[in-house]
Structure 1
Amino acid sequence: MRCCARNAKAESQGPAASRQNGHHKAPGKAPKSGATNGSSMESSKKNLCEIHRSDGRRRRVLAASLLGAAVVAAVIALALFLVYRPMKPQATVARAGVYHLVSATTNGTNNSAATPYALSATVQFTLLLHNPSDRTAVVYDRLLAYVTYRGEMVAPPAQLPLVLQDPGADVAVSPLLGGDGGAPVPVSADAVDALHADCVAGRVQLRLVVMGRVRYRSGPFKSAWRDLYVRCDAILGLTVQAAAGGGGAGDVPLLEYPKCAVDA
């Protein structure tokens, strides 16, 4: 009888117990869902890390490629510069001619007025320009030549034509300064007195000045225009008679090798 009663009680409590057991087991499913979400987040983080690592590798590769290209370009530019670099031209005076170089001083009629001093000159120099580069051509433009004595201009400036010079070539320029008439140019009294003394001694120093601009052409490269300033000091064996246009006028000897300086 007791066994039957226990079985009956157990059967009567079975559905409730089963419901309670089902009620307590239902929350047990939540941990499985959380674990799934955690694993997916970890995998997402791993994917993001892999993406960042790949992006970092790409940046490093790109930076290395750019640096290598820059180094190669710099080496090529240096090689081209060393091969085609321009060299400033060299100059010397090969010949000098003095046809007329005298004082053109006139005494003023008014005693209170200062006596004007002037020199009248007709001279010609042959300037030899040498291009020391075997790969670079030189273009001379807007050339202007004049001659000075003791720092004072003695003849009006003369313009020269455009000059094209091939690599390694020599070009001769022969400007005639002062023209046929030799227009008087105002100078100081010291210059007039010094010229007479130098002609008596047979030793006159004149300076030829050539100004303008140059451009260098090296293969496919072309430089910008640069200022040109040439100055040559020539010591001439000029006598008083030759300076006056008498005997010996024209070509005069160069007593010393002319010294020329070129700024380009």
Structure 2
Amino acid sequence: MPAEELTESPPRKSGDGGDRKHPTKPTAYRRSPRVMRTFIGSILLLFLLAGVAALVLYLVYRPSKPRFAVVGAAIYDLNVTAPTVVFSDMQITVTIRNPNARSTISYDRMAAYVSLGGQPLTPPLRLPPLEQDEKSTVVMSPVFGGVPVAVSPEVAAALAAAETYGVVALRLVVAGRIRYNPGPFHSGRVGMHVRCDLMAAHRRGMSGQVPLLAAAGCWVDA
């Protein structure tokens, strides 16, 4: 029987690749950039949808500031009792309008006073807290004064001259905190500052209801 021919395989070069196994990247690793792009795109889309939803809710439930108006005034006493002291007793009727159809308004820590020439003629008066429904109007008639108040000589002289002339320019100031309650939401409490200027026909010695010579304009900062 012929002898088997033995053949020797030629030596493999180190660089020919032969049986060397090339490392193969896992499939998940090869796809990771695509997965990351999809994930980031989904997150951005969620943020965009959330922003659109928040904008829609804001436009629907956006509250408007309350509206104040002075509709009447009565002056029972307003005199310069000393060179720099004023004694007053007056009542001012104010309407507060909530113009919002989807938001109630809560008022608290409210105080009011009457001033002339930038100086108070009455001490601050605490007003009761108030819960106001949508599209509603509240009427308040606080009474101010009752105690002497020190003023500057300029304000005392201006008040005496105004009573002689028959027209007194007064300012009602209301300060406090409000909170809007639009639908299912609640805002934080914010400060409120109201200024109402009124021209009252009043002379020294007169007492009672006084005509308002012009519509009292009120400015609300809230």
Structure 1 length-normalised TM: 0.77
With a CA cutoff of 8 Å and minimum separation of 6, indicate the structure with the bigger relative contact order.
Answer: 2
Aligned mates of 1:154, 1:130 — CA distance in 2? 26
Larger proportion of helix: 1
Aligned residue number for residue 250 of structure 1: 208
Instruction: Judge conservation of contact 2:78–2:204 (CA < 8 Å) in 1.
Output: no
Match of 1:232 among 196, 200, 203: 196
Q: 1:188/1:54 Cα in 2 relative to 1: closer, same or farther (>3 Å)?
A: same
Aligned mates of 2:41, 2:213 — CA distance in 1? 65
Once the 2 structures are TM-superposed, how far is the Cα of residue 172 of structure 1 from its aligned partner? 1.6
Aligned residues: 219
Larger CA Rg, structure 1 vs 2: 1
TM-superposition CA deviations, 1:74-99 (whole Å, max 9, x none): 10000000001121111110111111
Aligned residue number for residue 142 of structure 2: 175
Aligned residue number for residue 117 of structure 2: 150
SS class of match (1:156):
coil
Aligned mates of 1:53, 1:251 — CA distance in 2? 87
Aligned residue number for residue 26 of structure 1: 8
Once the 2 structures are TM-superposed, how far is the Cα of residue 50 of structure 1 from its aligned partner? 3.9
Aligned residue number for residue 160 of structure 1: 127
Aligned mates of 1:64, 1:52 — CA distance in 2? 19
| RMSD of aligned Cα (Å) | 2.1
Structure 2 length-normalised TM: 0.91
Structure 2 unmatched ranges of 5 or more: none
SS class of match (1:86):
coil
Aligned mates of 1:186, 1:64 — CA distance in 2? 68
Aligned residue number for residue 259 of structure 1: 217
SS class of match (2:131):
strand
Aligned residue number for residue 96 of structure 2: 129
Aligned mates of 1:192, 1:70 — CA distance in 2? 61
Aligned residue number for residue 37 of structure 2: 60
Aligned mates of 1:217, 1:200 — CA distance in 2? 48
**Aligned letter for 1:174?**
S
Aligned mates of 2:17, 2:119 — CA distance in 1? 102
Once the 2 structures are TM-superposed, how far is the Cα of residue 27 of structure 1 from its aligned partner? 4.2
Match of 1:141 among 98, 108, 128: 108
